[in-house]
Structures are given as structure tokens and as C-alpha cells.
């Protein structure tokens, strides 16, 4: 339980930029380093976190915590993921007027944005491997088809992510 | 005290009706806090949105803390943060309780084979949006490639990558771009 708390404290404090930034940390700390979860389970949790109300980081912490250690685990993981960022926010809210246009903050961000991109890309590669590598040709073709349809639906038709997940679910039922 | 209860009610509702995290909350905050209750001005809100994006943690929770603090100090901040987190926490608990049984249904398993692919596309598009916010140069591209290699090949802790990158931004990228104007 302590380990769960420590992991989600790290997920909280390092996830700059909201929701998806937490994904590489949960992936690295829970799956790669501790093998507490399978990739497939994690991807399902991301999908549900995206479809449920509330922040993705909080939702996935609650869900992962519950799967590992039931109600108390959910409470500990959610508390852990919120604690340090909340302390930072409350402290900074006090000095907000002074910090607002600080060039130091902008300086930090210049490095952090590419870092977050690198981290999320790393997680995407690992997760993608589980969806496309190690299958025979037919399921890979089906998955590529689903990916293309969802991509067009989201990026070109500009539809809502929840609608895209529902669409992908229907495609999954039709194709498999 | 009345303000605290009001904040709790408003942010509880925001937590319940915000699907998809922080950005989805922005129009709801405009409606509830700025238009209906005039607890905050539009320009103050935009400053908060811009600033909280650079903080660690959930954007929705951090925005709630800043708005709550603005309206009623530390008690306001704590109330808003807790109120906005309770609905998602409860909904996820409810889903998680039934999830394992639900996953035994063959049709659900088939649906999730499709949904997993959709998650990959969603993350890819999040990457694309993030990449559009960066003013790219060759060093930043090397940084991205370096992080991917450091983590996937050498097993470096991702938090270490964050610390190094923050330092690079502060000591290298910022002075460099200032010089270029």
C-alpha cells in the first residue's frame, strides 16, 4: 500500500500538462518496473477514464488503485495523485499575481513541453506494440482499418473523443 | 461559510459533468462561475487557464484550486478541489466494481479490441496537439529522441527526464530564444 502511494505521488508531481502526461508515468512505474498490471488492462482503463466524467489522471489513478487493492487502494492512489500538485497549486495561487508573467516559468516550460512529448511518445510506442505486434496478418489489418477510421473521425471530422470510443467499440464488435 | 457551500455545489457539478478532463471544463466554468455567479472576471479566468497548464497534476483540479483560492482563500481552494474530485472518484469506483464481470461478456471483449485501437489514436492526436504548441528547433528534437531512447532502451526513470528537461528549458532554451528575439 505504501508503494502504491509512493508511485502515485510520483505520477502526480511529474505529470506536467494534465491527463495524458500521467500515462507514461503510470506505464513506467506500474507496468515496466513493477509488473502490477498488463498493458491490455491499462489501455482499457485509459478508455474508461476518458469516457467517465472528471480528469483522466484522477480517473485512471482511482481505477488502477481499485484493481490492485480494492476501495482503500482507490482512495490511496487518488489521494497520492492529487496531494503534491494540490500543495503546489495552493502555494502558487497565493503568489499568482507575481508569477503570472514570469519568464522563469516560461523557461521551464520550454524544456518541459518537448519532454512531455517524448514521454507520451514512449508510452504510445509500448502500448502500440501490444496492439500491432505478435498477431497474424488479419487482426493487424483490422486494427489498422479501425485506427484509420477513428483517426479520420477525430482529426478530420473533428468529432468528440467519447463518440470515437463508442464508434471503435461498434467497429470492434463488427470486425471481431 | 455560505460561499464555501456554494463553491462545493458548483464544483461538484463541474466534476460530474466534465467529460474528458480540464479543457472540457472551461465552458462550464464560464457559465457557472463567471456568467451566473460573477465570482470571477473573464480575464482573470484566462490568466488562470494559461498558468495552470504549466503545473503538474490534473488541469481540472488545479484550475479549481486557483478559482477556489481567488474566491475564498485556502478553504475555498480545498473545497473546490475536493468537490471537483468526488464525482469522478465515485463514478469510477462504481464502474470498477462491475468491470471484471462485464469483461466476461464476449461482445464486450470484441468492443474493447476496437476501443484499444481508438485509445492509441487518441494519444497520437494528443501528441500532435502538444507538438503544435512547441517552437521546434534541432535541440528540442534531439531532446525528444533522447528521452525516448533513455527510457525505452536504458530504463531511465521518467521523473529524471522531466527534471533534466526543465533545467534545459531554464538554462539553455530560454536564454537561446531570448538572444534570437
Q: What is the ipTM of this complex?
A: 0.87
Between CA A132 and CA A141 the distance in angstroms is 9
Cβ distance of A123 and B78 shorter than 8 Å: no
Tell me the range of A13-22, B6-15, B34-43 where mean pLDDT is highest: B6-15
Residues in B touching A44 (Cβ below 8 Å): 103, 112, 115-116
Between CA A6 and CA A76 the distance in angstroms is 10
* CA-angle at B124, arms to B119 and B126, nearest 5°: 95
Mean of the pLDDT values across residues A69-95?
Answer: 94
Cβ distance of A12 and B56 shorter than 8 Å: yes
Check residue A84 and give its pLDDT: 95
Cβ distance of B114 and A106 shorter than 8 Å: no
Q: With the C-alpha atoms ordered B26, B29, B34, B39, is the resulting torsion angle positive or negative?
A: negative
A-chain residue closest to B88, CA distance? A54
Q: Shortest Cα distance from B134 to chain A (angstroms)? A: 7
pLDDT band at A111 (very low <50, low <70, confident <90, very high): confident
- Residue pair B69/A93 in contact (Cβ under 8 Å)? The answer is yes
Cβ distance of B59 and A16 shorter than 8 Å: no
pLDDT digits (tens, 9 = 90+) for A167-176: 999 999 999 8
Of B77, B89, B177, the CB nearest to A62: B89
CB pairs A-B closer than 8 Å? 350
- Taking 80 as the threshold, does the pLDDT of residue A14 lie above it? yes
Of A53, A127, A131, the CB nearest to B88: A53
Model pTM score: 0.86
Q: Which of B86, B121, B141 to mutate to test the interface with A (most CBs of A within 10 A)?
A: B121
Check residue B55 and give its pLDDT: 86
Q: With the C-alpha atoms ordered A115, A117, A123, A126, is the resulting torsion angle positive or negative?
A: negative
* CA-angle at A113, arms to B88 and A148, nearest 5°: 70
Check residue B44 and give its pLDDT: 87
Q: Which of B23, B79, B120 to mutate to test the interface with A (most CBs of A within 10 A)?
A: B120
Cβ distance of B87 and A57 shorter than 8 Å: no
Residues in B touching A114 (Cβ below 8 Å): 134, 140-141, 143-144, 147, 165
Check residue B31 and give its pLDDT: 87
Mean pLDDT over the full length of chain A: 90
Residues in B touching A38 (Cβ below 8 Å): none
- DSSP letters, chain B, are -HHHHHHHHHHHHHHHH-BSSHHHHHHHHIIIIIIIT--S-HHHHHHHHHHHTTSBS-HHHHHHHHHHHHHHHHHHHHHHHHHHHHHHHHHHHHHHHHHHHHTTSHHHHHHHHHHHHHHHHHHHHHHHHHHHTS---HHHHHHHHHHHHHHHTT---HHHHHHHHHHHIIIIIHHHHHHH-
Please name the residue that has the C-alpha cell 521523473.
Answer: B159
Of A47, A89, A169, the CB nearest to B62: A89
Mean pLDDT over the full length of chain B: 89
Cβ distance of A122 and B173 shorter than 8 Å: no
pLDDT band at B181 (very low <50, low <70, confident <90, very high): low
Residues in A touching B179 (Cβ below 8 Å): none
Of B77, B107, B173, the CB nearest to A173: B107
Residues in A touching B77 (Cβ below 8 Å): 89-90, 93
Residues in B touching A129 (Cβ below 8 Å): none
Between CA A95 and CA B135 the distance in angstroms is 28
Residues in B touching A86 (Cβ below 8 Å): 57, 61-62, 65, 81
Burial class (CB in 10 A: 0-12, 13-18, 19+), A40: middle
Amino acid at each position: 500500500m505504501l508503494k502504491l502511494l509512493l508511485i502515485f505521488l510520483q505520477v502526480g508531481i511529474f505529470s506536467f500538462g494534465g491527463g495524458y502526461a500521467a500515462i507514461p508515468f503510470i506505464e513506467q512505474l506500474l507496468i515496466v518496473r513493477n509488473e502490477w498490471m498488463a498493458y491490455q488492462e491499462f489501455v482499457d482503463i485509459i478508455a474508461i477514464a476518458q469516457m467517465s466524467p472528471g480528469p483522466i489522471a484522477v480517473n485512471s489513478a482511482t481505477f488502477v488503485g481499485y484493481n490492485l487493492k480494492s476501495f482503500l487502494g482507490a482512495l490511496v492512489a487518488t489521494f497520492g495523485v492529487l496531494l503534491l500538485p494540490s500543495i503546489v497549486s495552493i502555494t502558487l495561487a497565493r503568489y499568482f499575481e507575481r508569477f503570472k508573467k514570469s519568464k522563469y516559468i516560461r523557461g521551464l516550460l520550454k524544456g518541459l513541453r518537448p519532454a512531455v512529448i517524448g514521454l507520451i511518445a514512449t508510452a504510445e510506442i509500448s502500448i502500440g506494440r501490444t496492439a500491432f505486434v505478435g498477431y497474424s496478418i488479419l487482426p493487424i489489418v483490422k486494427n489498422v482499418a479501425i485506427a484509420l477510421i477513428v483517426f479520420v473521425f477525430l482529426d478530420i471530422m473533428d468529432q468528440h473523443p467519447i463518440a470515437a470510443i463508442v464508434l471503435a467499440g461498434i467497429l470492434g464488435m463488427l470486425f471481431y | 461559510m455560505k460561499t464555501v457551500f456554494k463553491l462545493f455545489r458548483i464544483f461538484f457539478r463541474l466534476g460530474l459533468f466534465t467529460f474528458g478532463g480540464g479543457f472540457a471544463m472551461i465552458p462550464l466554468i464560464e457559465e457557472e462561475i463567471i456568467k451566473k455567479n460573477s465570482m470571477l472576471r473573464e480575464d482573470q479566468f484566462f490568466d488562470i487557464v494559461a498558468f495552470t497548464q504549466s503545473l503538474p497534476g490534473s488541469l481540472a483540479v488545479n484550475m479549481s484550486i486557483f478559482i477556489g483560492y481567488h474566491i475564498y482563500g485556502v478553504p475555498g481552494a480545498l473545497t473546490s478541489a475536493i468537490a471537483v474530485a468526488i464525482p469522478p472518484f465515485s463514478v469510477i469506483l462504481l464502474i470498477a466494481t462491475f468491470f471484471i464481470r462485464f469483461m466476461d461478456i464476449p461482445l464486450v471483449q470484441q468492443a474493447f479490441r476496437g476501443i484499444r485501437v481508438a485509445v492509441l489514436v487518441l494519444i497520437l492526436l494528443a501528441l500532435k496537439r502538444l507538438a503544435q504548441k512547441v517552437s521546434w528547433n534541432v535541440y528540442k528534437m534531439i531532446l525528444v529522441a533522447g528521452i525516448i531512447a533513455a527510457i525505452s532502451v536504458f530504463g531511465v526513470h521518467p521523473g529524471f527526464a522531466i527534471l533534466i528537461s526543465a533545467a534545459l528549458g531554464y538554462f539553455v532554451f530560454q536564454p537561446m530564444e531570448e538572444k534570437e528575439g
